[in-house]
Amino acid sequence: MNCQIVPWILVIIGWFFVDERNNRRELRKEKRALIDKINVDLNSIEKTAVEYHQNNYANVKTSQEIKISLDRVVKILNREKLLAQKDYKKFIKFRQAITLDNFDSNSFAAQLDGSELLQDIYLTKDDLLHAMETKFNNDFRRNQNWLKFW
In sequence order, which residues have a C-beta less than 8 Å from that of residue 54 and are 6 or more positions away? Answer: 110, 111, 112, 113, 118
Q: What is the pLDDT of residues 67-120, one digit of tens each?
A: 999 999 999 999 999 999 999 999 999 999 999 988 877 789 999 999 999 999
Q: What is the pLDDT of residue 64?
A: 94
Q: How far apart are CA 109 and CA 56, in angstroms?
A: 7
- C-alpha torsion angle, residues 71, 140, 87, 97 (rounded to 10): -50
| Spatial contact of 133 and 35, defined as CB atoms under 8 Å apart | yes
Q: What is the pLDDT of residues 8-45, one digit of tens each?
A: 888 888 888 888 888 889 999 999 999 999 999 999 99
Q: What is the pLDDT of residue 125?
A: 98
